[in-house]
Structure formats: C-alpha cells, structure tokens
Chain A
Amino acid sequence: MLPLELDQLTFSAGNAAIIRGISARIEAGPRTVILGPNGAGKSVLMRLCHGLLTPTGGRIVWHGAMNGGKSVDVRRHQAMVFQRPVMLRRSALANVMYGLKLAGKSRNQSGLRAMDVLEVVGLAQHAARPARVLSGGEQQRLALARAWALGPDVLFLDEPTANLDPASTQDIENIINAIHASGTKIIMTTHNLGQARRLGDEILFISNGRLMEHTPIDKFFRQPASSEAAAFIKGEMPWQ
C-alpha cells in the first residue's frame, strides 16, 4: 500500500476551506503522528486518507497498491480507530468478528482470529459480554482489537485517548506499539505533546489546513522550522 502520496490535497465544506493544499509523502516504517491545534484539520485529513471523505481537489495515491489505489478495496488494507468507539449491540467477540465476516472470512475463522486478538489486548474474559456495557477504556481497547484483527497495512487513529484516563491511555499506547511492532504502519492524530513524544517517530504538523512541517520527531521538538510549531510546542498556540 505505502508509500502514500498526497498531492495538493484540498477539501472544503460549504464555503469553508478546511484543507488548503497539502502535499506530502508518507513512507512505510516510522510511526507517523499528525500534530496540530484544535480545528487545524487533522481529523479531516485522516478521513480523506482513509477514504471516508472525498477531496475537493488534489490527489491521494497509494503507490504500493494496484492502479495507485484506485479501487475501493484499498480500504480493506486499512483500518481506523475513532475518538469515540462505536460498538454494535452485540458481544465484544461479535464486534471483533464483524469486520472479519465482512471481509469474507468464515464464522469459524473469524471467531478464532477474534479470540486471539482479544487475548493479546487483554479482553478475552469479556468476550461474551455485551460490548456496550464495557467501560470507555475497555471499549477503545476493543476498537483497537477489532481494527487489528483485520490485519491492515495501515492503521489510522484519530485522537484515540482524548476521552480516556491516564491508566487506560497507557494501555492503549502499549497496544499501539504492539501493533506497530507486528508490522502495521501507524498514522495517528493527537493534540497532546507528551503522547506525540511517546508514540511518534515522525511528525506532520498541521496548522489552519496547511502542512507546516514534516520532520523526524527529535528535530521537530529541538528545532521547529515554523513559528506556528514553535508556538504550539511552547503552548502559546491560540486554540480555535
């Protein structure tokens, strides 16, 4: 699938321009963190890359896929975890199996794979319980399990721990690292500097719909190239 190329990507909703011409090339390997203040367009950018939104201008090219990723099946090799987990009214296990069955796996195969993943994220004992009665942190872990079970090449995460307490946040971050270690590319948004430092190998800094910087993490924090990034790191960025 990768590398992913964004070429002069723009997106407007109504009269508001949200993404104003972003060009970047994202390679396989490093954990990519998209950083920026609220309202910068991080979530919209993620949704554009994942195909949930259609750009109003520019191109998205998956160089590693067939035809540059022109078919809808490109999404089969990606998965996304949202800020708020959306669980179906069924058991935790059934939720994890849902995506697998959609991809064509048999009931048996789906069940086995789902149980494996639940073990790894530490939710095996809740497999039979209704997903909606689990706690916020457990549901987000479940969302990760559900995404991971599909074996995606790329995992998008949109502010996955914004609503969680520190203990749950740590659980989630550990799982993200485990997923990365298993070979999946991580692309994640956050507005939390500490989390970016912990989980990022490279940073894409977005401000006001524009890509300000695309640098390895050390360089970003030591020597931010743009004044917006510098202000953000110092905590002086006006929050929109």
Chain B
Amino acid sequence: MNSLGEAFAAAWRLIAGFDAELAQVVGLSLQVSLIAVVIATLIGLPIGAMIAVGRFSGRQTLIVLLNALMGLPPVVVGLVVYLLLSRAGPLGNLGILFTPTAMVIAQTVLITPIIAALSRQIIEDAWREYDEQLRSLGARRINAAMTLIWDTRFSLLTILLAGFGRAAAEVGAVMIVGGNIAGVTRVMTTTIALETSKGDLPLALGLGIVLITLVIVLNALAAVIREMALRRYG
C-alpha cells in the first residue's frame, strides 16, 4: 500500500512538474498509437464491412481466423516485424528499424485484426436489420457496406477506442522494433518497463497512472462526442 501512495505522489509530481522529457515521451506514445489506429481503421474497417455483407465460400473460415488474430501476442508481432525490418531481413534496406515508423507498423499489424473482426460483427448485426430494405432500394453490396459503416458509426467509434487502448497499452512490440532509444523511440510503456527494471517502482507506477489517465480522458472525449451526435441523428 505504501508503494501505491508513493506512486500517486510520483504521478502528481510528474504531471505538475511536466518536464520536457515526459512531454516528449507522452507525445510520442500518442502519436504512434493514434496513427496506428487511423491506418488500422483505413485497412480494417473496409475488410470488416465487406466480409459482413459478403457471400463467398470460405467466409466462415475467414471470420474464425480474423477473430483469432485479435489475440496476436504483441511480442510475437514485434519479433516478426523486427525480422522483416532488420538489415539482415528482406526489408532491411528501408532502414526504418528502431524508428517510430517501425513502431507504427508493428502496432498497426496488431490492431487491424481487432478493428476488422469487431466491425465485422457490428456491421453484420446491422446488416441483418437493414438487409432487405437496402436491397429493395437498389443498393449493391458495396453501397450497403458503406451505408452500414456510416449508420453504425457510433458503435464503430467504440471499436476504435478499443484499438487505441490496445495499442497504447502494449510494450512487447514497440520495445523490440523501437529499441527504447532515449529521445527517439521511448514511449510511456517502454519507459515504465525501464523504470521497473531499474527498481524505481513508484516512478514506474506513476507513469502508469499518467498513461491510464490519458486513455480515460480520450475515452471521455469520445463519449461526449457520441452523446452529442446521438442526440442529433437518433
């Protein structure tokens, strides 16, 4: 219990002090995970939508596979991406190992299945309700997919938040492909891991509290937006 008390004190000192290093680490964490969510959505959402409204052989197998990929261990993803981007690997010439770009790539790989699988479920549930009406009005499958994405946008927003939460919270992937280089690829989670390693548990916990607070703030913001929009569109 003492450590927890120290942790909250450490967290408060961090936030109140707001030193440049912390700001840089927080900023990078947000940047990497937000960009990863955006890209994962651009890829995963259409995939989820097309599977939801589509009819093709192997569809069920694909859905099972997609759901399973949600459980990809971050450290495994990190390892695979590392091997791809290493100089000894196929994409070594790009020279992007140990950069934020590599971290974005790894996190995108991690969350795209989550976005695709969950949006597939939500859109498929909506499709059951809208199916006949949309077809009657002349919508082809691709029209239906786009219409459903827009109509389920509030539920989809929750999925994006889930994806962001997963990305911001993981340490395995970004540690391996980023290398936790001070000032370059050090993010909140890897800093927490480092401070834990050094035995500075209150500081590590304090950083953890800062991280959780940030995620809560983001979720609260999304909830407000959702409320406002629901009132407007019903």
Contacts and interface: CB of A to CB of B under 8 A. Distances in A.
Chain A directly contacts chain B within the complex, with at least one CB pair under 8 Å: yes
Interface of A: 47, 50, 52, 75-76, 78-80, 82, 86, 88-91, 98-99, 102-103, 130-133, 146, 150
Nearest to B130: A86
Contact of B233 (A47, A79, A90): A90
In terms of DSSP, what is the predominant structure of the interface of chain A? mixed
A131 B133 CA distance: 15
B141 to A, nearest CB: 12
Interface in B8-31: none
B233 A146 contact: no
B87 interface: no
Contact of B139 (A50, A102, A130, A131): A102
B137 A133 contact: no
A89 B233 contact: yes
Nearest to B154: A89
Which 3 pairs across A and B sit closest by C-beta, in order of nearness? A130-B234, A132-B234, A86-B133
Nearest to A47: B132
Given A102-B139, A130-B232, A88 B151 contact: yes
B151 A89 contact: yes
Contacts of B234: 89, 130-133
Contacts of B59: none
Interface of B: 129-130, 132-133, 135-139, 143, 147, 150-151, 153, 232-234
A76 B132 CA distance: 14
B233 A50 contact: no
Of the candidates B132, B133, B150, the one having the most CB atoms from chain A within 10 angstroms of its own CB is: B133
18 contacts: A47-B132, A50-B136, A52-B132, A52-B135, A76-B138, A80-B136, A86-B129, A86-B132, A89-B151, A89-B153, A89-B234, A99-B137, A102-B137, A102-B139, A132-B233, A133-B234, A150-B137, A150-B138
Of the candidates A75, A88, A91, A150, the one having the most CB atoms from chain B within 10 angstroms of its own CB is: A88
Contacts of B153: 89
Nearest to B147: A88
Given A75-B138, A86-B133, A89-B151, 7 more contacts: A52-B132, A52-B136, A79-B137, A89-B150, A98-B147, A146-B137, A150-B138
Contacts of B137: 79, 98-99, 102, 146, 150
A86 B136 CA distance: 11
Of the candidates A98, A103, A150, the one having the most CB atoms from chain B within 10 angstroms of its own CB is: A98
A46 to B, nearest CB: 11
Contacts of A86: 129-130, 132-133
A130 B230 CA distance: 10
B131 to A, nearest CB: 9
Contacts of A76: 138
Contacts of A99: 137-138
A86 B153 CA distance: 17
Nearest to A76: B138
A102 B151 contact: no
Of the candidates B129, B130, B143, B233, the one having the most CB atoms from chain A within 10 angstroms of its own CB is: B233
A82 B133 contact: yes
A47 B133 CA distance: 11
A103 B138 contact: yes
Nearest to A91: B233
A90 B154 CA distance: 13
A82 B132 contact: yes
A78 B138 CA distance: 9
A101 B227 CA distance: 29
Contacts of A133: 234
A113 to B, nearest CB: 14
A79 B135 CA distance: 10
Nearest to A129: B234
A94 to B, nearest CB: 10
Contacts of A78: 136
Of the candidates B129, B138, B147, B150, the one having the most CB atoms from chain A within 10 angstroms of its own CB is: B138
Contacts of A79: 136-137
Nearest to A78: B136
